[in-house]
Amino acid sequence: MLVSRFALFTLLCVLFGNVVALRAAEPAVSEIAGLELWLDAQQEAAQRLSAPGSAFKSGEPISQWRDASGGKRMAVQTDAAGQPKLVQVGARADDAAAGAGWVVRFDGEDDHLRVLGMNRRYTSFTLFVVAAPHSNSGRFRGFLAFNQKNRKDYETGFNLDMNSRFSPKLQDLNLEGRGFGGARNLLKSTVPFGTLHVMEVVADATNKNVRLVFDGKPAGRREFSPSELIADDLTIGARHYENNAAPQRVQGFLHGDVAEVLLFDRVLTEGETRSVRAYLDRKYATLRKALPRGLKLASAAENIEPLVIVENPPSVQMLVPGFRVRELPVELTNINNLRYRPDGKLYALGYNGDVWLLNDVDGDGLEEAKTPFFENRGRLRGPIGMAVIPTGHALLQDADRKPRTGAQGVVVASKGKISALLDADGDDVAEEERVIATGWKEISQNVDAIGVAFDPKDGAIYFGLGTAAYNNAYLLDEAGRSAFDLGSERGTVQRIAPDLSGRTTVCTGVRFTIGMDFSDDNQLFVTDQEGATWLPNGNPFDELLHITPGRHYGFPPRHPKHLPRVFDEPSLFDYGPQHQSTCGMVFNRPFQSKGPIFGPAHWRGDVLVCGESRGKLYRTQLVRDADNEYVAHNHLIGCLGMLTVDCCISPRGDLVVACHSGGPDWGTGPTGIGKLFAIRYDDESPPQPTAVWAAGPQEVRVAFDRPLDPVRLKNLAPQTKIVYGEYVAAGDRFESIRPGYAVTQRQQSTPRHRLPVHGASITPDRRTLILSTAPHPAAVQYALTLPGLGREIKKPHAGELPQHAQVDLAYSLGGVRARWTPTDASQPEWSGWLPHLDLHVARALASDDAEQRRFWKVMEQPGRLTLETQIDPRGLFAPAVQPGSTLGYDAKTVETWVRQRGVLIQSDRSFILTTAGATTAQASVHKEGAHQVTLGVQQGQTRPLRFTLELKTGGATPVLRPSWSATLGDDRERSGSLALHRFLLPWAKTDSADLAVPAPQIVGALANASWGRGRRVFYSEEAGCSKCHVVHGKGGQVGPDLSNLTHRDYVSVLRDVTQPSFAINPDYITFIAATKDGRVLTGPIRSEGADVLIGDEDGKVTKLALVDIEE
């Protein structure tokens, strides 16, 4: 028996070598009086591995963590989903005993352990926690807490957490409890996540303070009014509290590792404290070094870019140049809708139901005079939706159906009715409210009928009826029975006949269609509002919808029990991140046929959309694909500091915007004072960005509508910033309002990262900016901030709002990689980026730069086109589910209505398609007049469909039509266009779990490269590189410094060597200088005091006094 015990001890010494060295120290800890709780991951692992017949492995979840103090307490977790993992750090696959130590790893979602029934009371205590947090998304992520049963930890006991705010590193430690209430940070230093630290807390009733010691060094302290600290229950890896009117619960889950916890029921002496610190320092010396290497989190923290809101942002900030913003000098209550009538006067519908008529009397371009057109007096309830009655419409005719001279008016949607407010005699006062539609069952909310639009073709009137219950979409009773009726008028778009004789339902499945307008090609578009706050998959985003009669648009969505036989049409565009509250919209067309539009010429026909709850202005570009369906491309163009409700185009081409005062969702209501702003495009000199895209893993391009000024491109790269993350958007620093939902808080606390910009160059025509960057890590959202590039910071004139000079743009890793190989080998190849697989859409959205123009020319020549992309199927055949929510059923097992799902690719010519991982290519099949291939999509599939498509070119540009297709349970087939965001570049990673900037990949062409040989070539007389370029301080200074080439990708460097004129460094643009003595010098120019230095192609530098230059 003795031998077997010795053998077991020997085995444990081998498995836990670092434990052996600590055996002399451990008894000192266990012998210190007052040890209440001792949780040691190392000892827990030893016991599990030494158990008879043990098959335990690192990384397995644990349901209990045993107390080694002798108190026989146990930290437990009975719910498998919430069990943390016991992990060995630094273990090798071939040697499980070679690890540096063990930790208990918490996932930050729901993992935690609890010691229930401790039933202890403390007046003082000493706590040691050895831990390594991995991240802090805010909301009091806790290491340890104890509390009175069913009470808040911070009111009855104690908590140790990382405070309320998101942080990119460990920079806050909040110590809070009974007698020292209120969150307060006591940490005085900042350390990277993923590093191991000893947090020592002392609650000292004698000295009336609570103090923090961090890694053996005193940090902060706070006053303590001695009280009984109750520890009925103790939580590891989370907090225990609930501030709302709900039962107390565990929350604030830790994302990180805990290696050891020591809790004493008194203040230790200095000697005892030194003994514990020494024990912990020796024990974890190896783990401290190994853990960061394994987690690789410290590097991620280095590129964190916290969001800093601009101090005193303007009420309206345009994110692109050329705009002037003025406030209309008229005081009105909050306005819900704005529309101009044919004579140029402006109707303004108040939230209180009054309608005003605004006029520019003094001719300064701003309406300053107001007269009441319709005084509500309680007749209109919750009005939102107004349209001007067209000339000659039936509403403006007399009993004999003849036009009334001077008659005019508006149609307004309000609760329970659609009303025509009619001015029959043309005196600018509505004498009559004529109800033209009513009779539906009203809902309890103030907003009922919404949005109004006239069909320009026949004069029919369209409006929306909000969903029956925003917070109970299926109308479930207490027994869970649904009363939802698909045939109901609620949640529909309605059509009133041109002669007002009746109305019909156009479509179902809409929630609240606040914005509504017809396009120039007579198609109806609406905005619909997010609903996933109340229904996990009900309108997960605010939407732009193209309304087709008979369709169901997803609210409420298909449900296996409550609504099983509908197909949820994908939206045309989703406005994100979640909770934008899209409201008013208008197509950007001239008020009169030959009048001005809003913004640059290429904005004509776009949809201008208001994001109410976060103060946003969007420009959504619509193009038609090869099958004549719509594809949308969105641009965020403005950020406002007020609730942005509606907009319209003025006769002058201004965008007039109505804003409510107050906070989300509906501000100060009907009686609050709002503001109207006029945004005018009056400076066409700054180049306008037309497109931005990731041209490669380490390259971003921005195209402009005219050449950039070389003088304004100096020192461009250091002034350029790229930030990325799951919820990043252009101009985030100007977002000063947002709704207070948990989802928006999660968005704010999600880390944002900085993508280093290593260099900048421009194409020879100076219309495309090329940025060299670090590798793009994942297919998330990217925001690019450029210096003004001609947009200057000017002191605003009287009445104008100041504007920040920077240009703010957004891009993603969407698109298609294209390569064209000519049949004639003497011709050059073409390679580049396309925004969409449909070449008709790609051409409509093309940047119109020189490279794109060349692509469309080569499409007419004989050759072979190769296209590579990934199609993201998430949310395509069923609405996405809000993060953190569940459906309450397993869609994979109960979904039967959609029998087949797929992506259909059609062309006017044969093609070959090869999917990722396939050993053979798939040839297209000619069917129903087209060559086609179908790629199957599984129910709930999240993995992208990656493929390569090859076809021949020559003659007309190839027709490619990618679409989604679905076969329903009644054998009907549905198909539709694929949105831009469905296409991802082939190199884009869809797993955004690790957003640290990855190290550049070593390409195969450099496998046998010689740094020394390259250095000799660079400095050789034959190559002559060093005559003009400097590397690490050595070489000429005629051309750009090439010391940062190690940060550039291989492809772009090779291109710059083989095609030196493709991209030009903006700091080294070639100029021609004529001197007064008759010389003409050509080359890059740089200044040196009062002189200029002009380099030439041989590396020679000529120094001239500025006064000696003629021009």
Q: Which residue has the tokens 């985030």?
A: 732
Distance between CA 973 and CA 967 in Å, rounded? 5
Given a cut of 70, whether residue 419 has pLDDT beyond it is: yes
Given a cut of 60, whether residue 999 has pLDDT beyond it is: no
Determine contact, residues 1091/1105, Cβ cutoff 8 Å.
yes
Q: DSSP string spanning 700-726?
A: EEEEESSPPPGGGGTTTGGG-EEEEET
pLDDT digits (tens, 9 = 90+) for 230-250: 999 999 999 999 998 789 999
Distance between CA 169 and CA 194 in Å, rounded? 9
Burial (CB < 10 A; 0-12, 13-18, 19+), residue 479, is exposed
At 799 the pLDDT is 82
Burial (CB < 10 A; 0-12, 13-18, 19+), residue 412, is buried
Starting from the edge strand earliest in sequence, which strands make up the sheet with 386-388, in order?
A: 386-388, 408-414, 417-423, 432-438
At 908 the pLDDT is 97
At 1 the pLDDT is 36
Distance between CA 37 and CA 47 in Å, rounded? 17
Q: What is the mean pLDDT of residues 971-997?
A: 87
Distance of alpha carbon 990 from its chain centroid, rounded?
14
Given a cut of 60, whether residue 728 has pLDDT beyond it is: yes
Find the helix or strand (DSSP H, E) in which 842 lies. helix 839-844
Distances (CA, A) of 500 to 420, 456, 460, 1077: 11, 15, 8, 84
Given a cut of 50, whether residue 95 has pLDDT beyond it is: no
Distance between CA 1085 and CA 1030 in Å, rounded? 16
- DSSP 8-state code for residue 886: -
Sequence-distant (≥ 6) Cβ neighbours of residue 596 within 8 angstroms: 590, 652, 653
Given a cut of 80, whether residue 1100 has pLDDT beyond it is: no
Distance between CA 810 and CA 693 in Å, rounded? 9
Q: If DSSP codes are grouped into helix, strand and coil, which group holds residue 472?
A: coil
Q: How many CB atoms lie within 10 A of CB 274?
A: 12
Given a cut of 60, whether residue 15 has pLDDT beyond it is: no
Given a cut of 70, whether residue 149 has pLDDT beyond it is: yes
Distances (CA, A) of 1044 to 383, 1007, 1033: 60, 20, 12
Tell me which of 67-71, 148-152, 1043-1047 is least confident.
1043-1047
Burial (CB < 10 A; 0-12, 13-18, 19+), residue 1004, is exposed
**What pTM, to 2 d.p., does this model score?**
0.80
Given a cut of 60, whether residue 972 has pLDDT beyond it is: yes
Given a cut of 90, whether residue 845 has pLDDT beyond it is: yes
Q: Which pLDDT band, with edges at 50, 70 and 90, does 1016 fall under?
A: confident
Q: Which residue has the tokens 């190199």?
A: 987
Determine contact, residues 434/420, Cβ cutoff 8 Å.
yes
Q: If DSSP codes are grouped into helix, strand and coil, which group holds residue 558?
A: coil
At 831 the pLDDT is 96
Amino acid at 795: K
Q: Which pLDDT band, with edges at 50, 70 and 90, does 118 fall under?
A: very high
How confident is the prediction for the chain on average, in pLDDT? 90
Distance between CA 819 and CA 829 in Å, rounded? 8
pLDDT digits (tens, 9 = 90+) for 579-626: 999 999 999 999 998 899 999 999 999 999 999 999 999 999 999 998
How many residues appear in the chain? 1111
Distance between CA 564 and CA 530 in Å, rounded? 22
At 1044 the pLDDT is 59
Domains by residue range for the chain, with CATH: 2-283 (2.60.120.200), 323-681 (2.120.10.30), 689-811 (2.60.40.1220), 816-878+896-984 (2.60.120), 1007-1108 (no CATH)
Q: What is the mean pLDDT of residues 498-523?
A: 97
Distances (CA, A) of 232 to 68, 122, 248, 305: 19, 11, 14, 41
At 992 the pLDDT is 63
Dihedral sign, CA of 332, 338, 341, 343?
positive
Determine contact, residues 888/898, Cβ cutoff 8 Å.
no
Sequence-distant (≥ 6) Cβ neighbours of residue 1022 within 8 angstroms: none
pLDDT digits (tens, 9 = 90+) for 677-725: 999 999 999 999 999 999 999 999 999 999 999 888 889 999 999 999 9
The better pLDDT of the pair 17, 221 is held by 221
At 1086 the pLDDT is 64
Q: Which pLDDT band, with edges at 50, 70 and 90, does 18 fall under?
A: very low
Strand partners, 721: 785
Determine contact, residues 337/658, Cβ cutoff 8 Å.
yes
Find the helix or strand (DSSP H, E) in which 283 lies. helix 270-283
Tell me which of 3-12, 37-46, 563-572 is least confident.
3-12
Distance between CA 505 and CA 21 in Å, rounded? 80
Parallel, antiparallel, or unpaired for β 925-927 and 930-936? Answer: antiparallel
Q: Which residue has the tokens 């190392």?
A: 42
Q: DSSP string spanning 599-631?
A: SSGGGTTPEEEEETTTTEEEEEEEEE-TTS-EE
Given a cut of 90, whether residue 4 has pLDDT beyond it is: no
At 225, give phi and psi (nearest 5°): -85, 105
Amino acid at 345: K
Q: DSSP string spanning 293-306?
A: HHH--HHHHHTB--
Sequence-distant (≥ 6) Cβ neighbours of residue 457 within 8 angstroms: 522
Sequence-distant (≥ 6) Cβ neighbours of residue 182 within 8 angstroms: 176
At 565 the pLDDT is 93
Q: What is the mean pLDDT of residues 1083-1103?
A: 69
Q: What is the mean pLDDT of residues 262-284?
A: 97
Given a cut of 50, whether residue 826 has pLDDT beyond it is: yes
The token pair that represents 955 in the structure block? 């003659």
pLDDT digits (tens, 9 = 90+) for 286-307: 999 999 888 877 666 678 888 8
Sequence-distant (≥ 6) Cβ neighbours of residue 785 within 8 angstroms: 720, 721, 722, 723, 806, 807, 808, 809
Sequence-distant (≥ 6) Cβ neighbours of residue 695 within 8 angstroms: 701, 770, 832, 833
Distance between CA 1000 and CA 776 in Å, rounded? 10
Q: Which pLDDT band, with edges at 50, 70 and 90, does 1075 fall under?
A: confident
Q: How many helices (H) and strands (E) does the chain have?
A: 15, 71
